């Protein structure tokens, strides 16, 4: 990466753990790290033994035939037992597992004892429909408590779930159902979103028209707006599930039994069905949830704002928190309903202590303005987290100051659908933070930055982020496509997992994620990362969010094209364009100056909120847009294309 940028991201302040936080933190020093470094396998085996209940102990910790890993061979356990039953057995049945709030304002508190009954009934319902160990069950629901209940019911009987985000279209749902050959679908009549009904069952009906593997569809009543039910195939949840017994013994599963398939968010390409198994996955999500979020299950109220349709929801709404016996908030709707302070109202109402959200949300809140969080009492918060994209230093500082009131550490957690659990993150009681850096690999995780030759680049240096050691929650493959597994992740560098992301280490060894290497721009022979130019733009007080891409340029090879969303109260002008270009030149260097800047109200994002730079590149290069099915709102990119062509965006050459 270019040296000129070195200054920008590193000159920022360093934030040591606040003393009052560090005093009681689970991890306060480097002893855990030292133990893991000495013997990573023994470290993970220790976590597995300490954090989980096993029906049968494993014979071997790890079998590693690159790129195929098996963890805890011969061991058996049940995920639902570990997430629910054992807490009830330990006398914690009255502890609240989920504090659920519907978008219209209705609420439910579900204790671990109630969760045990509900999961058991749902599991019996699946058994009654003939679902067996090894079958796949698709789940297409809004964020209602029955969504985690359905996931746990599958885990209880050894069926693998495939959760499909409730914002996907019938085509996307059908594609995922057919790819996994799901035997059953669990859905809702509808979901509440921004005050309106999303007709999930209608969409599911359309998907099921051409999904021959599905014999049964269970429908939860949520919006009660009237749906059609196909006799023989469709069953109301309240008829089928509620009639079942609440006794359903959790069956021991092999540690390598398939727990779920989850399709990646499709930011770069056609989604892949990522496979995760039982023992290793649960070990690492339980361990990382405990250490990264410094959880105190008896007193914390934790809230992860993701949807269960993404891996973040799987690992840090369902499995990690429940394995630790934590109390979590689940919110059904959007952050701007009925007003833009809804998230902060929820923090205030439930006394949320730990909040985990995404940079895209944080930048949206910045755009809306400080008045919304300032209306509410956020003093319960003691720790903040971020996941999904690089968080720009400016957004980090805003999150820290406006939401955390300058008191809370922030854990910037890097991981992927494929990694299953957090891989790179601060430990908030031990790691001094640098805004915008995910800091270091967690204990037991091997991550490095390598150059084109696969050799570590050293400190400081930039290149490709790789994982150089197997980890318990690693993907076990791509469903139905072993070749794609090898080609996508293991072919670039011999013996290394290549994550697709660029990264650099600064002089202190801190890791900075630089976005996807496919997005890196090559301007006059210099590599320039999208993340750094975007950070420089967002650093300007007028800018809420920015996306940059490289476009073909006759003189420089590639030129930087920027798409910018302004913070509320700012107006687009030619002067502002000049100011922003100069700002980037000042922070990074003239080489990184955007050639063109287009102001826009929206950016093309996946349904999980990530910017799809590939599409912006297509717009700037006037190419066909290709596959846009994973876009949240396909009209956004069409609008940008019209404006881009109308503006004749070319900028001036200097
Ligand atoms: P696809 O793989 O289909 O293109 P995707 O990569 O967006 O989709 P996910 O598995 O949801 O699907 O996202 C993982 C990616 O998100 C990472 O590879 C990285 O690019 C980005 N990411 C996640 N967390 C962070 C973080 N803390 N900092 C920087 N980037 C992050
Ligand atoms: Mg990916």
Decide if 220 contacts 144 (C-beta within 8 A): yes
Residue 515 CA, closest ligand 1 atom number: 20
Nearest CA to ligand 1 atom 23: 388
CA distance 652 to 595: 7
> Is residue 268 predicted with pLDDT exceeding 90?
no
Separation of 565 CA from ligand 2 center, angstroms? 25
Higher pLDDT, 1 or 105: 105
For a mutational test of ligand 1's pocket, the pick from 176, 264, 442, i.e. the residue with the most ligand atoms closer than 8 A to its C-beta, is: 264
The band of 649, judged by pLDDT with boundaries at 50, 70 and 90, is: low
C-alpha gyration radius of the chain: 24
Predicted confidence at residue 650, as pLDDT, reads 46
Q: Are the C-beta atoms of residues 452 and 470 closer than 8 Å to each other?
A: no
* 480-505 confidence digits (pLDDT tens): 999 999 999 999 999 999 999 999 99
Percent of the chain topping pLDDT 70: 97
- CA–CA dist 287, 293 (Å, integer): 10
pLDDT in tens, 126-142: 999 999 999 999 999 99
Tell me how far the alpha carbon of residue 299 lies from the centroid of ligand 2, in angstroms: 35
Q: Could you tell which of 262, 316, 388 is best to mutate to test the pocket of ligand 1, judged by most ligand atoms within 8 Å of the CB?
A: 388
Give the chain's end-to-end CA distance (angstroms, integer).
22
Query: Nearest residue CA, atom 28 of ligand 1?
Result: 390
Q: What is the pLDDT of residue 2?
A: 37
- CA 123 – ligand 1 centroid, Å: 32
Query: Rounded to whole angstroms, what are the CA distances from 349 to 104, 145, 214, 342, 362?
Result: 15, 19, 41, 10, 20
The tokens for 636 are 């956004």
**Best probe residue, ligand 1, of 263, 417, 423, 487 (max atoms within 8 Å of C-beta):** 417
Indicate which residue's Cα is closest to atom 16 of ligand 1.
388
**Residue nearest atom 18 in ligand 1 by C-alpha distance:** 416
- Tokens coding 158: 């050894």
> Is any ligand 1 atom within 6 A of the Cβ of residue 314?
no
Residue 610 near ligand 1, beta carbon < 6 Å: yes
For the chain, helix, strand, coil in percent to 5 are: 35, 25, 45
Asked if pLDDT for residue 10 goes beyond 80, the answer is no
Q: What is the pLDDT of residue 346?
A: 98
Task: Name the closest-CA residue to atom 7, ligand 1.
Answer: 267
Where is 523: in which H helix or E strand?
A: strand 521-523
Q: For a pLDDT cut of 90, what percent of the chain falls above it?
A: 89
Helical pair 112-128 and 146-157, crossing angle rounded to 10 deg:
60
Answer whether 438 contacts ligand 1 (Cβ < 6 A).
yes
Residue ranges covered by each domain of the chain = 14-56+66-434+447-501, 516-646
Strand pairing report for 302-304 and 354-357: parallel
Q: Is any ligand 1 atom within 6 A of the Cβ of residue 420? A: no
DSSP per residue over 299-340, as a string? Answer: T--EEE-S-TTSHHHIIIIIIHHHHTT--EEEE-S-TTSSST
Q: Say if residue 267's pLDDT is above 80.
A: no
Atom of ligand 1 nearest to the CA of 531: 29
Higher pLDDT, 299 or 633: 299
57 CA from centroid of ligand 2 (Å): 34
Residue 103 CA to residue 140 CA, distance in Å, equals 18
316 burial via Cβ count (<10 Å: 0-12, 13-18, 19+): buried
pLDDT in tens, 295-331: 999 999 999 999 999 999 999 999 999 999 999 999 9
Q: Residue 424 carries which DSSP code? A: B
Instruction: Tell me what the mean pLDDT of segment 427-449 comes to.
Output: 98
The pLDDT score that the predictor gives to residue 628 is 79
What pLDDT score does 630 carry?
Answer: 78
**Are residues 510 and 92 in contact, defined by beta-carbon separation less than 8 angstroms?**
no
Q: Give the bridge partners for 304, in sequence order.
A: 356
Q: How many residues are listed for the chain in this entry?
A: 654
Query: pLDDT digits over 574-590, tens only?
Result: 999 999 999 999 999 99
> Is the beta carbon of 465 within 6 A of some atom in ligand 1?
no
Choosing from 313, 357, 389 the residue with most ligand 1 atoms within 8 A of its CB, the one to mutate for a pocket test is 389
Q: What value, to the nearest 5°, has the Cα angle with vertex 436 and ends 433 and 442?
A: 55
Binding site membership of 425 for ligand 1 (Cβ less than 6 Å): no
CA distance 126 to 120: 10
Q: Is the pLDDT of residue 559 over 90?
A: yes
Q: Is the CB of 307 under 6 A from ligand 1?
A: no
Q: What is the pLDDT of residues 160-217, one digit of tens each?
A: 999 999 999 999 999 999 999 999 999 999 999 999 999 999 999 999 999 999 999 9
The token pair at 104 is: 């219209």
> pLDDT at position 4, please?
38
Ligand 1, atom nearest to 606 Cα: 7
Exposure of 554 by Cβ count < 10 A (0-12 exposed, 13-18 middle, 19+ buried)?
Answer: exposed
Determine the topology of domain 14-56+66-434+447-501 in CATH: Rossmann fold (3.40.50)
Q: Which atom of ligand 1 is nearest to the CA of 418?
A: 10
546 near 538, Cβ under 8 Å?
yes
Q: Is the CB of 612 under 6 A from ligand 1?
A: no
Instruction: Confirm or reject CATH 3.30.300.30 for domain 516-646, answering yes or no.
Output: yes
| Bridge partners, 354 (sequence order) | 302, 383
pLDDT tens-digit readout, 232-256 = 999 999 999 999 999 999 999 999 9
Please work out whether the CB of residue 357 comes within 6 Å of at least one atom of ligand 1. Answer: no
Confidence band of 259 (pLDDT split at 50, 70, 90)? very high
Q: Residue 75 gets which letter from DSSP? A: -
Nearest CA to 60 out of 51, 72, 50 is that of 72
Whole-model pTM?
0.95
Instruction: Say if 14-56+66-434+447-501 and 516-646 have the same CATH topology.
Output: no
Q: What confidence tier does 652 reach under pLDDT thresholds 50, 70, 90? A: very low
- The answer on pLDDT for 9 being more than 70 is no
| 493 CB-near residues (< 8 Å, 6+ apart) | 450, 454, 464, 466
């Amino acid at each position: 990466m270019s040296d000129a940028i070195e200054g920008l991201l590193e000159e920022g302040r360093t934030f040591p753990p606040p003393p009052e936080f560090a005093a009681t933190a689970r991890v306060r020093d480097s002893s855990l790290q030292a133990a893991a470094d000495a013997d990573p396998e023994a470290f993970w085996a220790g976590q597995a033994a300490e954090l989980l209940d096993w029906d049968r102990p494993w014979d071997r910790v790890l079998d590693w035939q690159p790129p195929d890993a098996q963890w805890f061979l011969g061991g058996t356990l049940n995920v639902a037992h570990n997430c629910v039953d054992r807490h009830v057995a330990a006398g914690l049945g009255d502890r609240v597992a989920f504090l659920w709030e519907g978008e219209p304002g209705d609420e439910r508190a579900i204790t671990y004892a109630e969760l045990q009954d509900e999961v058991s009934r749902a599991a019996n319902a699946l058994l009654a429909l003939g679902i067996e160990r090894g079958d796949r069950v698709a789940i297409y629901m809004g964020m209602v408590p029955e969504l985690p209940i359905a996931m746990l019911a599958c885990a209880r009987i050894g069926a693998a779930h495939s959760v499909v985000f409730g914002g996907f279209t019938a085509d996307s749902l059908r594609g995922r159902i057919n790819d996994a050959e799901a035997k059953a679908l669990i859905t809702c009549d509808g979901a509440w979103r921004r005050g309106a009904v999303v007709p999930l069952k209608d969409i599911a009906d359309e998907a099921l028209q051409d999904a021959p593997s599905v014999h049964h569809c269970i429908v939860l009543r949520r919006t009660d707006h009237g749906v059609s039910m196909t006799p023989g195939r469709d069953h109301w949840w309240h008829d089928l599930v509620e009639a079942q017994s609440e006794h359903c013994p959790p069956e021991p599963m092999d540690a390598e039994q398939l727990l779920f398939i989850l399709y990646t968010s499709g930011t770069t390409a056609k989604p892949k069905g990522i496979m995760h198994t039982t023992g290793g996955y649960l070990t690492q999500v339980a361990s990382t949830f405990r250490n990264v979020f410094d959880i105190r299950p008896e007193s914390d109220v934790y809230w992860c704002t993701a949807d269960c349709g993404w891996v973040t929801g799987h690992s840090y709404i369902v499995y990690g928190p429940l394995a630790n016996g934590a109390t979590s908030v689940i919110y059904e709707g959007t952050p701007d309903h009925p007003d833009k302070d809804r998230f902060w109202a929820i923090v205030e109402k439930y006394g949320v202590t730990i909040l985990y959200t995404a940079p895209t949300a944080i930048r949206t809140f910045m755009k809306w303005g400080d008045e919304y969080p300032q209306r509410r009492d956020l003093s319960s918060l003691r720790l903040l987290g971020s996941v999904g994209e690089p968080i720009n230093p400016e957004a980090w500082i805003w999150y820290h100051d406006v939401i955390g009131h300058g008191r809370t550490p922030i854990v910037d957690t890097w991981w992927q659908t494929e990694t299953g659990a957090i891989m790179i993150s601060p430990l908030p009681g031990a790691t001094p933070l640098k805004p915008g850096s995910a800091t270091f690999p967690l204990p037991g995780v091997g991550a490095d930055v390598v150059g084109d030759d696969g050799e570590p680049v050293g400190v400081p240096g930039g290149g490709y982020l790789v994982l150089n050691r197997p980890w318990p929650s690693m993907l076990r493959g791509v469903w139905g496509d072993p070749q794609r597994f090898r080609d996508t992740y293991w072919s670039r560098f011999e013996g290394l997992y290549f994550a697709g992301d660029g990264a650099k280490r600064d002089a202190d060894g801190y890791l900075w994620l630089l976005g996807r290497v496919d997005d890196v721009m090559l301007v006059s022979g210099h590599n320039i990362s999208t993340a750094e130019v975007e950070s420089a733009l967002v650093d300007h007080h007028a800018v809420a969010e920015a996306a940059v891409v490289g476009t073909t340029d006759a003189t420089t090879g590639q030129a930087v094209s920027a798409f910018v969303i302004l913070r509320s109260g700012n107006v687009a002008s030619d002067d502002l364009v000049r100011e922003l270009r100069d700002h980037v030149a000042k922070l990074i260097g003239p080489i990184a100056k955007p050639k063109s800047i287009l102001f826009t109200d929206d950016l093309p994002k996946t349904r999980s909120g990530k910017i799809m730079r590939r599409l912006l590149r297509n717009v700037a290069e006037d190419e066909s847009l290709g596959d846009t099915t994973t876009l949240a709102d396909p009209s956004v990119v069409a609008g940008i294309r019209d404006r881009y062509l109308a503006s004749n965006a070319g900028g001036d050459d200097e």
